[in-house]
Each structure stands twice: as C-alpha cells, then as structure tokens.
Amino acid sequence: MASSEQQREGGAAQRDDAAVEAAVREAYEKEAGEALHQAGLVDLLGAGWDAPRVSKAVARLEAQGRLRRERDGPYKRVLPAEAPSTLPEGRPSRRRGGVRRAAARHEDGEAAGSTSSLLERVGAKVVHAGSVTEAALAELAEAERLLHDQRVALLHRLTVLRDAFGTHNFNPEMADVEAFLNEPYVALQVPGRHNEFRVIAPRFIPFHVGMLEFSTATYNVFKVNQYVLWLGNVPEALRKLFDFKPLLDAKLVDDELVLGSKAEQEEAFDRYRDHVTMRKGDVRIGIRKGHEFALLSKLIKDGILPFVPKAVAAEDLRPAAWSPLALATFEKRDYQERAWTHFLTYGAAGFWMPTGSGKTLIALRACAELKGRKGVIVPTRTLVDQWRERLDAFLTPEAAAQVEVWTYQSYKRLKESMRNKTWVDFTFLVFDEAHHAAADDYSRWVTVPTKYRNSLSASPNREDGRENEMFAFAGPPFGTDWRELEELGVVELPDVHLHLVRDLNGKLIVLDELLKKVKPTVVFSDSLALGERLAERYGAPFIQGSTTKRMDKFREALLAPKKLVIASRVGDEGLSLEMVERTIEVDFHAGSRRQELQRAGRVMHGQGDETGVHHIIMTEEEHAQHGKRLLSLREKGMRIAVHRAR
C-alpha cells in the first residue's frame, strides 16, 4: 500500500501533468500548429511554476505518450504527441503573431538562442519584481547547466573529429573553443584590391555578411567590398576588420573635381587623365564635357563617394498631396524617416532596400511633396500598370496627374519630345529596379535633365560586375540590413524548398503534387513554350510579354477558385501582390542570382496568416550548372530544404 505521503505526491504530479498538457495543447491550437518552447511554459503557467517542476511534468507526459519534444534537451520545443514531426508548409507567420523566433531559422544556433532567451527573461523578472525571485534563479541555473552541456558536447565532437582524422596531437582547450565561438570566421584581403575582402566561415554557423560568393560542403565564402559597407550590410562589430580607406579625398562640384591637397590633385590628374582637362589652382581639376558619368563611375570603383549634398530647396516643397487612403493606411517607420532625411539632404538617393520594406513609399512621398513635373521609369509594362495604380490610390488626383510613368525602353521617344519648344524639365525622377540602370541601353537616362532623383532596388548586384556604374547612376546610397528589418517584423523571409528531379516529367510530377493544395500561387516559367503548356495543363492564365492589363489579370487569377497564375519574366521584378502566398519556379534564367532573389521576394509582400513559401524545381543537371543562383537566398539567411525525387 502506498503511504499517504506518496499518494499526495502522486496526486500533485497528476495535477501538474494535466495543467502542463492542457497548456501545451491550448498554445498549439491557438498558434495554428506552432510548437511551444518548454521555457515559455514557465511564464504561461504562472506563479509557483519553475523550470524543474515543468521539466518533470513534460518528462512524465512524454513517457506516457501524451506529449513529445521535437529534439532532446529540456528547453526544446514541446507539442502534442499526435502533432506532425515537422511544421507543414505555410507555418504561422512570426510577423503576424506566431511564437517562433527568427533564430529558429538556424537549427544549429537554436540552443544558444534559447539560452539567451532564458537570460533575458531572468533580467525582466528582476527589473519587474525588484528582487531575484526563486523562479528566476531556477531558470538561470538551468540556463547555465544547458550552456555547460553544450560546451561539453562540442568538445566531445571535436575529439571525435580528431580521432577520425588521426590528428592525435589535437587537444582542444575550452579557451580555444570560446575564442572560436566569439569569432568563427577569418577575413582575408584580396591581393591587389585595397577595398575587397573574402570572409570565410563554417556553414553550420548562422553567419552572413556581404555577398555569398560560393559555398563548399563545409564553408561559406563571402565577398565584402565598399558597396556592401556603404549599404550598411556589415554588422558594426565586423566593420573594424575592413579598412576601406578611399584612395583620394575627392568631391564632384559642378564641372570640377575637387581634391584634398596639391599632392592628391597630381595623383588624380594622372589617374583620371582620360576624363579631365586641366588643373585649376592647387586642388581643383576641370572635367571633360560628356565624361562626367564615366569619371563618377571610376571614382566609385576606386572606393570614393564623391557626392556633395545638394539639399532639396524649400521652395520646391509643398504640403503633402496624400489621398485619404494614404493618410488612413501609411505607417511611418524609423528607417523610412532616415531615408527621407537622406534624400532631403542630398537631393538624390539610391535606396537599396529589401523587397517589402517600403522603399516605394519614399518615392511616393517625394511625388506627394515636390512641386512640378515628375516621372517614374520602370523596366516592364507590368510595373507601369502597378505604378499608375499606386499613384492614383495614394496621391490626390491633381498630384497623380503630374507624374508620368515610362519604361526604360522609351528613352528615344522621350528624347525626341525634348526637342519641342514646349518641353519642361523634370523636377523629380524615380528609377525603379535601378540595377538595370548600368546596362548600356538604360544608362542614357542619366542625360535626362531633372533637379532631384530617387533610384530603387532590392538587389544591388549585377552579374556583369558593373556595380560601380549602377551606384554612379543612382546617387548617394542608402541601405538597410535585411536582418534588422526581419527583427522589426517588417520583412519575413520565406520558407524555401528545392526539389531535385531527373527531367521535365519529374518537374511536372512535383508541380502536380504541390498544386493539390490550393493557395494563391504564381508559377514562374522563363520558357514561353513551357508556360503555355503549363497554362493548358492547369487551366490557368499565362501572363507574358504580350499580355495587356497584366495587373488586373494577375489579381483575377489569384482570386479565382484555382488561385493560380503562370508568369514569365514579366512577374520577376517589383510585382507587389499582397495575396500571393506561394511561388513555384519551374524554369529560370541560368545562374542569375538576382532573378532567384527577386522571385523569392514575391512572397515577402504577403499579408496572410502564413509565412510565404518559395519552391524551386530543378533537374539534377540544372542544379549542377546553375546552382549558384541559390546563393542569393542563402546569403540573406534563408534555409533551403532539399527534396530529391526517388
């Protein structure tokens, strides 16, 4: 017979088990299938609950098959026993109320993130209560124990590797391990290039900086140059590694190059002799007529930002001509205010910001607050339609009528109209998807007279390496770090799935399976013939170059019962359709990193309850030849789940 003491303990345990099980199930249902971190149970259950008490209850429930933990360890995620082992496609969005953290994208870094979360919770309780509570001390002790276990496990793994490689003189010390964890990378300057570094880090470390140049099975190799630094995509802690000093202290002032000293004047005259005329005084050099853009590009390539502030004049501003819709829906964000101040200071700006971060709203604000004639230049007719919709929706009718929308291909037509006596110069021009501006046919737009300008792009990289011309065209750069915007909840990286198959038939089998789940989806096909075939196979419209009223047709298809549209490259860039929840790429342009990032960005606009999903269907041969296009996703911190056809 059990003693009364044992019976009381058994009854208390049963009550604990029932409370914990109910809390987990309620949280799981409330968050639409989201696992709950066991550490969060302490706060959820309230007073009297501490980490050991919760841990014992979870262990009992796990032994009984009533709950389970996704992975070993007391602070891993807990969910009902019948829940799926992995979260399904379209997990709850963190930006829209899901409980998962951004760190959970990096499986290898999750334990460290959990420890950090515990310590933050302890600190909050101390501040709130004014004293260190017993529960807080218990959590702190558990966190310290967990960190110790992690270190021991890491040392054990290193010892196993030592034995595997036969390096028996390898004897890791904890100090060495801690030094590695504090600085798990090496930065090497590229010989002969004073403003370019390679940064090498193990792939299992959730570390991203600059442009991911290539990956091996075990290491990531990033390229960091002046462009990366200018756009703010290097964490402050790493900036000390990169000593990017401009070759010269040089500024472009009207038709002259102004240097910092007589010695620099001589060096600049010799270095840029093809683009300059004569020395003027001790620090100035004349610029050859028609060579202004070429000289600017050369200076930027040398790591020099020669822009001089030319503030927007007060007489060119007016009260913002917003529509009632804009006033009711716009939400000002700090980084957008910083961007606006940057534009007002320089009178020109290149905004290199992630998809969905609201860079278009900055240009719309300029259209609303600047007087005079304004123009927007875009690469496709799809974006002509989209910009017209935005202008009509967010500006007053009078202000919207002052803004013209052109494609980059319309340059000759615009140039001819400049010969008319009735021509009026632009006050303001917007160059959308400005990474195109470095192309020979597009860079001619720099000759169109305008007082102020904005350039917009989410992908400040070019396959041909002409970033210097792109930055020269755009003007003084302003960038934001993707990680910062993800932490703010402004941008949410999509789930990415790579499906590797043998041939086109394998692609169709995967596509058939994916489309069984109906949700607003854009299927991309560069091949027009394949696009037509897919449209016929699935009874969906194919939107391509010859399609008119594209935005209307995108919306009609996505709101129809099938919620499906097939798109050629015309859907790659700038397309902002909030209802899109899934993109599927079946055919693509070789190894274009920019195209891959742009297509994944179509589901970073979404406003639904689920995180966007981006599927890539490749043959094994395509992956071997063009797999580098996926690097643009990895460098932004997107994890790619790989599925191979059996």
C-beta of residue 603 within 8 angstroms of C-beta of residue 461:
no
Instruction: Let me know if residue 156 belongs to a domain.
Output: no
Same domain assignment for residues 319 and 279: no
**Pairing between β-strand 186-189 and β-strand 36-37 as defined by DSSP bridges:** unpaired
The answer on pLDDT for 94 being more than 70 is no
The answer on pLDDT for 96 being more than 60 is no
What is the spatial distance between Cα 618 and Cα 621, in angstroms, rounded to a whole number? 8
For residues 343-372, average pLDDT = 93
C-beta of residue 25 within 8 angstroms of C-beta of residue 41:
no
Structure confidence by residue, pLDDT tens digits, 283-341:
999 999 999 989 999 999 888 999 999 999 999 999 999 998 888 777 778 889 999 99
The answer on pLDDT for 482 being more than 70 is yes
What is the spatial distance between Cα 426 and Cα 429, in angstroms, rounded to a whole number? 7
The answer for residues whose C-beta is within 8 angstroms of residue 46's C-beta and 6 or more apart is none
Same domain assignment for residues 20 and 85: yes
Res 106: pLDDT: 37
What is the spatial distance between Cα 385 and Cα 376, in angstroms, rounded to a whole number? 12
Nearest to 187 by CA among 234, 238, 233, 232: 238
Instruction: Let me know if residue 355 belongs to a domain.
Output: yes
Percent of the chain past pLDDT 70, that is, above it, reads 82
Res 8: pLDDT: 64
Strand runs labelled E in 446-512 = 450-457, 477-479, 495-501
C-beta atoms surrounding 276 within 10 Å: 19
Same domain assignment for residues 411 and 546: no
Same domain assignment for residues 384 and 412: yes
**Which span out of 41-55, 186-200, 617-631 was modeled with the highest average pLDDT?**
617-631
Sign of CA dihedral 170, 174, 176, 181: positive
C-beta of residue 579 within 8 angstroms of C-beta of residue 559:
yes
Same domain assignment for residues 38 and 67: yes
Res 117: pLDDT: 53
Res 357: pLDDT: 85
Res 165: pLDDT: 65
The answer on pLDDT for 90 being more than 60 is no
The CA distances from residue 269 to 48, 292, 295, in Å, are 77, 15, 12
Instruction: Give the confidence band of 112 by pLDDT, cuts at 50, 70, 90.
Output: very low
Instruction: Give the confidence band of 5 by pLDDT, cuts at 50, 70, 90.
Output: low
What is the spatial distance between Cα 340 and Cα 223, in angstroms, rounded to a whole number? 29
| Residue with token string 């992975």 | 71
| Residue with token string 């194919």 | 542
Instruction: Let me know if residue 281 belongs to a domain.
Output: yes
Instruction: Let me know if residue 98 belongs to a domain.
Output: yes
**Pairing between β-strand 640-644 and β-strand 495-501 as defined by DSSP bridges:** parallel
Say what angle helices 134-165 and 174-182 make with each other, to 10 degrees.
Answer: 100
The answer on pLDDT for 102 being more than 70 is no
Q: Which residue has the higher pLDDT, 320 or 33?
A: 320
Say what angle helices 38-45 and 4-30 make with each other, to 10 degrees.
Answer: 100
Averaged confidence pLDDT in the chain: 82
Structure confidence by residue, pLDDT tens digits, 193-226:
878 899 999 988 878 888 889 888 899 999 988 8
Write out the residue range of the structural domain in which residue 47 sits: 14-142
Instruction: Give the confidence band of 558 by pLDDT, cuts at 50, 70, 90.
Output: very high
C-beta of residue 92 within 8 angstroms of C-beta of residue 610:
yes
Instruction: Report phi then psi at 77, rounded to 5.
Output: -75, 145
Res 389: pLDDT: 92
Sign of CA dihedral 93, 95, 99, 100: positive
C-beta of residue 562 within 8 angstroms of C-beta of residue 585:
no
What is the spatial distance between Cα 359 and Cα 604, in angstroms, rounded to a whole number? 14
The answer for residues whose C-beta is within 8 angstroms of residue 464's C-beta and 6 or more apart is 438
Instruction: Give the confidence band of 98 by pLDDT, cuts at 50, 70, 90.
Output: very low
For residues 562-577, average pLDDT = 89
Instruction: Give the confidence band of 530 by pLDDT, cuts at 50, 70, 90.
Output: very high
**What tokens were used for 127?**
């501040």
Task: Give 319's DSSP letter.
Answer: S
Same domain assignment for residues 470 and 350: yes
**How many domains does the chain contain in total?**
5
What is the spatial distance between Cα 527 and Cα 535, in angstroms, rounded to a whole number? 12
The region, left, alpha or beta by phi > 0 then psi within -120 to 50, assigned to residue 47 is: beta
Res 139: pLDDT: 66
What is the spatial distance between Cα 463 and Cα 594, in angstroms, rounded to a whole number? 8
For residues 625-634, average pLDDT = 93
Res 108: pLDDT: 38
Res 555: pLDDT: 92
As beta bridge partners, residue 498 has: 616, 642
Res 423: pLDDT: 87
The answer on pLDDT for 170 being more than 70 is no
Between 34-38, 241-245, 346-350, 406-410, the lowest mean confidence (pLDDT) is in 34-38
Res 93: pLDDT: 57
Of 89, 117, 142, which residue constitutes the final position of a domain? 142
Res 114: pLDDT: 47
Structure confidence by residue, pLDDT tens digits, 418-474:
888 788 899 999 999 988 877 777 778 888 899 999 999 987 777 777 888 888 888
Same domain assignment for residues 205 and 222: yes
Of 277, 301, 325, which residue constitutes the final position of a domain? 301
Burial class (CB in 10 A: 0-12, 13-18, 19+), 15: exposed
Instruction: Give the confidence band of 88 by pLDDT, cuts at 50, 70, 90.
Output: very low
Burial class (CB in 10 A: 0-12, 13-18, 19+), 305: middle
As beta bridge partners, residue 452 has: 428
Same domain assignment for residues 503 and 402: no
The answer on pLDDT for 153 being more than 50 is yes
The answer on pLDDT for 567 being more than 90 is yes
| Residue with token string 């050859």 | 288
The answer on pLDDT for 526 being more than 80 is yes
Instruction: Let me know if residue 424 belongs to a domain.
Output: yes
Instruction: Give the confidence band of 99 by pLDDT, cuts at 50, 70, 90.
Output: very low
On the CB side of 476, how many CA atoms lie within 13 Å of its CA? 20
The answer on pLDDT for 101 being more than 50 is no
Instruction: Give the confidence band of 375 by pLDDT, cuts at 50, 70, 90.
Output: very high
Structure confidence by residue, pLDDT tens digits, 220-254:
999 988 888 888 777 777 777 776 777 899 999 98
What is the spatial distance between Cα 79 and Cα 85, in angstroms, rounded to a whole number? 9
The answer on pLDDT for 626 being more than 80 is yes
Same domain assignment for residues 515 and 473: no
Res 74: pLDDT: 38
Q: Which residue has the higher pLDDT, 82 or 262?
A: 262
**What tokens were used for 592?**
């274009």
The answer on pLDDT for 49 being more than 60 is yes
For residues 82-111, average pLDDT = 45
Task: Give 227's DSSP letter.
Answer: H
Residue type (1 letter), 448: V
Same domain assignment for residues 325 and 445: yes
Same domain assignment for residues 502 and 567: yes
Residue type (1 letter), 233: N
Instruction: Let me know if residue 437 belongs to a domain.
Output: yes
CATH code assigned at 383: 3.40.50.300
Task: Give 315's DSSP letter.
Answer: G
Q: What is the DSSP string of 230-279?
A: HTT-S-HHHHTT-----SS-EEEETTEEEESSHHHHHHHHHHTGGGEEEE
Nearest to 304 by CA among 231, 242, 229, 250: 250
Instruction: Let me know if residue 423 belongs to a domain.
Output: yes
Res 605: pLDDT: 66
The answer on pLDDT for 85 being more than 70 is no
Instruction: Let me know if residue 148 belongs to a domain.
Output: no
Burial class (CB in 10 A: 0-12, 13-18, 19+), 597: buried
What is the spatial distance between Cα 128 and Cα 230, in angstroms, rounded to a whole number? 40
Nearest to 588 by CA among 605, 576, 610, 572: 572
Between 79-83, 194-198, 281-285, 634-638, the lowest mean confidence (pLDDT) is in 79-83
Same domain assignment for residues 101 and 200: no
